[in-house]
Chain A
Amino acid sequence: MRVTVRLFARLRDLAGAGEIVRDVPAPATVRTVWQELVGEIPALEEYERTMSVAVNADYAKMSAIVADGDEVAFMPPVSGG
């Protein structure tokens, strides 16, 4: 199945892209998608403990189920305001 990965701020810089489409084997969780991504771009791994994740623009957990067509976002610690 196909998911769209969204990356922001320094994660986006490290990956060289803010939006990446990837095929992942079903069934998948956010963690599955992350592990595939880190396999491809090892530099992202430093964010595993501090990042937040979202599925379809809603905060989610690493254990959340991901379905075909979903948008999965990985976000470094925020600094708005």
Chain B
Amino acid sequence: MDSGAGLQPGGSPAIPRVAVTADPLDLQALTQEVSRTAAADGAITSFIGLVRDHNQGRRVSYLEYEAYEPLAVRALNLIVEESAGVWPTARLAVHHRIGRLEIGEASIIIVAASPHRAEAFAACRYMIERVKQIVPIWKHEHFEGGDVWLEGATADPADEAARDKARRIACA
């Protein structure tokens, strides 16, 4: 069989460890990708962010996610690199979905693998905290009676205070 580009030796299609995509997210596939090289790992943790039916007293109908895609992918890769600097034994993967998402759908999935659980939990938590700080993605909330763009943090990857805050939360 011809093993063309994008195919793993096992024959299953390769999936990127970092992605911004309009397609539904697949935690099982991402977990398999991370654990493909995991013979030395003793732990895998994962995080799934879901679209919630309420926010700040509003009844949410659905969310639309918008991204500056090339920079979002770059920022996600930067966070993976940061994490590798703090937890060298952990490996991370993250997929963020964009477009219209209904209540209960996954907007983000994160998988962290490491020899021991502490690093996997911490790296996973660090990742989601940093995503909320520096990845150029926005929620457009559609609720009963209107719609609003949600605005959180001013994105600045060089802001060490923000990075330290994410690290403290991850290690709490």
| A residues apposed to B, CB below 8 Å | 6, 8-10, 12-13, 50-52, 54, 57-59, 73, 75-81
Give A54 to B67 CA distance when docked, in angstroms: 13
Give A77 to B135 CA distance when docked, in angstroms: 10
| B residues apposed to A, CB below 8 Å | 49, 65-68, 70-72, 74-75, 96, 107-108, 128, 131-140, 149-158
**24 A–B contact pairs at CB < 8 A?**
A8-B68, A8-B138, A9-B66, A9-B151, A10-B151, A13-B149, A50-B151, A52-B154, A52-B156, A57-B70, A73-B136, A75-B136, A77-B153, A77-B154, A78-B134, A78-B138, A78-B155, A79-B137, A79-B150, A80-B107, A80-B108, A80-B131, A80-B137, A81-B137
Which residues of A have CB within 8 Å of B65? 80
Q: Which of B67, B68, B140 has the most CB of A within 10 A?
A: B68
A-B CB contacts (within 8 Å), total count: 92
Q: Which of A9, A12, A54, A77 has the most CB of B within 10 A?
A: A9
* B interface secondary structure, majority: mixed
**Of B96, B136, B139, which contacts A52 at CB under 8 A?**
B136
Taking the closest CB of chain A, its distance from the CB of B71, in whole angstroms, is 5
- Given A73-B68, A81-B107, also A59-B96 (CB < 8 A): no
